[in-house]
Amino acid sequence: MNAIILFIIGIPLVEIYLMIKIGSVIGAFNTIFLIFFTAVTGIYFAKLAGLSALKSGFSQILKNEIPIYEIISGAAIAFAALLLIIPGFLTDFIGFLLIFPPTRKIFIKTFSSGVRRERNKENIIEGDFEETKNNHDSLNDK
């Protein structure tokens, strides 16, 4: 809960700080232009990457395989597009990292290993079992 509040407050503060610093170096008009340019460019690349993930997913389905990576990759691309639409340089940077396949794979591996560790921490009830012979035939003979 505290981490969510930190992100809700922290990310806009970082974005405003970066806009002010970059704006003081390149000018206000250029900063606004750069924010719009990264949003449009990012959405274009997200569209291309999304179509590529969709094509790869269909090829996996045609091979009778479950396109798990393609589904996760598509969700990451959708999140990247959202980050690119949000004005700011930090969110644009993270969005561009998620769009490109090599860095997207790193993000997915990192996230999935964290989920896997959390899943392994769950309570597991262990037990023994014994197979018994089913006596249905002897009951039917009577």
Any idea where the domains of the chain sit in the sequence? 33-116
Residue 78, pLDDT score: 85
Higher pLDDT, 100 or 1: 100
Residue 108, pLDDT score: 86
pTM of the full predicted structure? 0.69
DSSP character string of 2-68 = HHHHHHHHHHHHHHHHHHHHHHHHH-HHHHHHHHHHHHHHHHHHHHHHHHHHHHHHHHHHHTT---H
Tell me how far apart the alpha carbons of residues 27 and 14 are, in angstroms, rounded to a whole number: 18
Contact residues for 99 (Cβ-Cβ < 8 A; gap 6+)? 42, 45, 46, 49, 77, 80, 84
pLDDT single digits (tens) 117-134: 666 566 666 777 777 776
pLDDT single digits (tens) 87-105: 889 999 998 898 888 998 9
